[in-house]
Structure 1
Amino acid sequence: MDKSSGKKGLFLVTTGAVFWGISGTVSQKLFQQTAVDIDWLVTTRLLIAGVLLLAVQWLAKDRSQLFVVWKNKKTALQLVAFGLLGMLAVQYTYMASIKYGNAAVATLLQYLAPVMIIIYLILRKQTDFTRKDLLTVLLALAGCFFLLTDGSVSRLSVPAAAVFWGVLSGAALAFYTLYAGPLLKQYDSLVIVGWAMVIGGLGLSVIHPPWQIDLNSFTPETYACLVFVILFGTMIAFWFYIESLQSLSPKETSLLGSLEPLAAVLTTVFWLKEPFGRFQWLGAACIIGLMLVLAWDKKPPSTNQTKRARQKR
């Protein structure tokens, strides 16, 4: 691998992961301090970021794939299902967990998805239960206990609604990851994710039209936060991550991607001044640790598997 290419890949994946993590904290600020609500933000974020990703495909990659994906009826139906039950579900549950709790807890709970996938595959007898699987499950259980209780067995340190939506977010991400496989084997990532975002945004628009909001209440800071969440925290973060796969191995990219929950925790605690107990820090360390265990494999996953596991944003 060329040294300069490696440095470029390192910059891209690190920047993308940090943007992803910070965008959750910025979303929390929008929910707590502005008139922006979940429905409007999710709808707007999906529509704009989806269109921008498709524009990148049109301008910089194989533009023929943009519409060929719709020519096969089966593939088209799969894409619609992925957009509504995968992309939209992941986005909405994640944002709901942020609203009722905070970005740090929401991000960490969403990262339970790999453990849910492991359990699902074992129950379906598609894989054997290994010592590595046992370690990841134990880390997940310990992480959840410390994160949600701060070491107390008698109470939750996180609102129950945030836990509910956070666990649903992990389950939605697990479905998203498993369901995306066949589509990603046939078409470029930007095509599938871009269209899925547009489909998810259009689906939620039926319930909550994005134009039904009072823009007069928006301040310059509100617009700045929205630009960051939509442009940097969604479109650019995903684009950078995919581009990093051109010069880094999937294993390296997965390891560096663990900066996302770390960025979410640090910005939530030190920027928004959210309380975070010492046992919650231990829980965060357990969940980040399980991500590192999953990524540190002698036989790294294929590029498509890595893309599936990280295309949630």
Structure 2
Amino acid sequence: MNRNKGMLLVITGAMFWGIGGTVAQKLFQQYAVDVDWLVTTRLLIAGVLLLAVQFLRKDRAQIMGVWKNRKAAIKLIIFGLLGMLAVQYTYMASIKHGNAAVATLLQYLAPVMIIIYSILRRQNTLTRGDVLTVSLALIGCFFLLTNGSVSQFSVPAAAIVWGVLSGVALAFYTLYAIPLLKQFDSLVIVGWAMIIGGFALSFIHPPWQINLNSFTSEAYLYLVFVIIFGTMIAFWFYIESLQSLAPKESSLLGSLEPLAAVLTTVFWLKEPFGIFQWIGALCILLMIIFLAINKEKDPSL
């Protein structure tokens, strides 16, 4: 029963993550929502909600305890700014300039970047699996971004740049968080990181500075979905699934996120997606699945 519950949680969380990106794209395109404002608002609200869950369900002393450890507090601030904020902002900017499908798939190049980083740092040796993973990623990106034609990109350059930066930010986010997560609960670290990132971005775009005159009831529903389901619940469900599933299983099922983003972008928002782009998306999905299957063999992945 617990395993079935874990599978349901991670599948639901991954779907919410993917669909949340597409819904954000809808807000950008139809309601001209500012990227800075959306990132600030979703981080602040989701962060507070995650800490509230920690307060109600787990060791509430950790919520303030992390700030009593000076070294951990400094790392948390760096993680919030260069990890959480960077990941959220670059991902949303890529969606703004392109679409949720491409942004999500480019962000999922992060595991390949981690492999390359580990090899360069000589923490791991190059294996056939690494070669296969990097090859799938490069082939997938080529078809995804060019649709098989080298004469012109089928995706705006700005979307590609922000998407690649999102992958870099996610790689940093994953590696830098490991020591913190060994000391404190995930909800505490991620909750505070969201609040730190949202607070910092508030100086650029305060969350209360937005024109809501063009907002309809539908727009408010989209906004609630992005903040509650696409951010807070998606992460919470993924963390909860680890209580009853192996990390390999959770990661494998988590690959439904880019699939959900692609499908909802193409069939709900009617974004054009060529045959070679589908091949590219398939290559990246295969890369994600391969990494998930082999994750337990190498903790750095």
TM-score by length of 1: 0.94
Alignment of 1:140-219 (within 5 A): 140-219=137-216
Q: Write the distance in 2 (CA, Å) between the matches of 1:166 and 1:252.
A: 26
Structure 2 counterpart of 1:63: 60
Q: Does 1:267 align with 2:260?
A: no
Aligned partner (choices 104, 128, 136) of residue 139 of structure 1? 136
Q: Does 1:225 align with 2:186?
A: no
Q: Write the distance in 2 (CA, Å) between the matches of 1:294 and 1:272.
A: 30
Structure 2 counterpart of 1:121: 118
Structure 2 counterpart of 1:243: 240
Alignment of 1:17-32 (within 5 A): 17-32=14-29
The runs of 5 or more residues in structure 1 that have no matched partner are none
Q: Write the distance in 2 (CA, Å) between the matches of 1:25 and 1:48.
A: 19
- Asked if the contact 2:101/2:262 (under 8 Å) is kept, the reply is yes
- Asked if the contact 1:250/1:301 (under 8 Å) is kept, the reply is no
Q: 1:249 Cα shift?
A: 0.9
Structure 1 counterpart of 2:38: 41
Q: Write the distance in 1 (CA, Å) between the matches of 2:253 and 2:184.
A: 25
Residue identity over aligned pairs, in percent, reads 76
Q: 1:301 Cα shift?
A: 5.9
SS in 2 for 1:180: helix
Q: Write the distance in 2 (CA, Å) between the matches of 1:88 and 1:298.
A: 26
Q: 1:297 Cα shift?
A: 2.0
Structure 2 counterpart of 1:78: 75
Q: 1:298 Cα shift?
A: 7.7
Alignment of 1:81-100 (within 5 A): 81-100=78-97
SS in 2 for 1:154: coil
1:19 maps to amino acid: F
- Asked if the contact 2:94/2:159 (under 8 Å) is kept, the reply is yes
Q: Write the distance in 1 (CA, Å) between the matches of 2:33 and 2:146.
A: 29
Cα distance per residue 1:152-173 (max 9 Å; x no partner): 1111010000001000000111
Q: 1:216 Cα shift?
A: 2.5
Q: Does 1:11 align with 2:8?
A: yes
- Asked if the contact 1:147/1:280 (under 8 Å) is kept, the reply is yes
Q: Write the distance in 1 (CA, Å) between the matches of 2:115 and 2:246.
A: 22
Q: Write the distance in 1 (CA, Å) between the matches of 2:246 and 2:72.
A: 29
Cα 1:260/1:73, change in 2 over 3 Å: same
SS in 2 for 1:207: coil
Aligned partner (choices 262, 267, 281) of residue 284 of structure 1? 281
Cα distance per residue 1:76-98 (max 9 Å; x no partner): 11100100111000000000000
- Asked if the contact 2:66/2:73 (under 8 Å) is kept, the reply is yes
Aligned partner (choices 127, 130, 137) of residue 127 of structure 2? 130
1:63 maps to amino acid: R
Q: Does 1:296 align with 2:293?
A: yes
Across the aligned residues of Structure 1 and Structure 2, the Cα RMSD in angstroms comes to 1.1
Runs of 4+ in 1 over 4 A off after TM superposition: none
Q: Write the distance in 1 (CA, Å) between the matches of 2:21 and 2:66.
A: 31
Q: Write the distance in 1 (CA, Å) between the matches of 2:114 and 2:172.
A: 8
Equivalent pairs counted in the alignment come to: 301
Q: 1:72 Cα shift?
A: 1.3
2:42 maps to amino acid: R
Q: Write the distance in 1 (CA, Å) between the matches of 2:29 and 2:174.
A: 30
- Asked if the contact 1:251/1:296 (under 8 Å) is kept, the reply is yes
Q: Write the distance in 1 (CA, Å) between the matches of 2:281 and 2:242.
A: 27
Q: 1:177 Cα shift?
A: 0.8
2:200 maps to amino acid: G
Cα distance per residue 1:41-91 (max 9 Å; x no partner): 000000000000000000001101101100011111110010011100000
Q: Write the distance in 2 (CA, Å) between the matches of 1:298 and 1:157.
A: 32
SS in 1 for 2:193: helix
Q: Write the distance in 1 (CA, Å) between the matches of 2:225 and 2:95.
A: 17
- Asked if the contact 1:136/1:290 (under 8 Å) is kept, the reply is yes
1:148 maps to amino acid: L
- Asked if the contact 1:144/1:283 (under 8 Å) is kept, the reply is yes
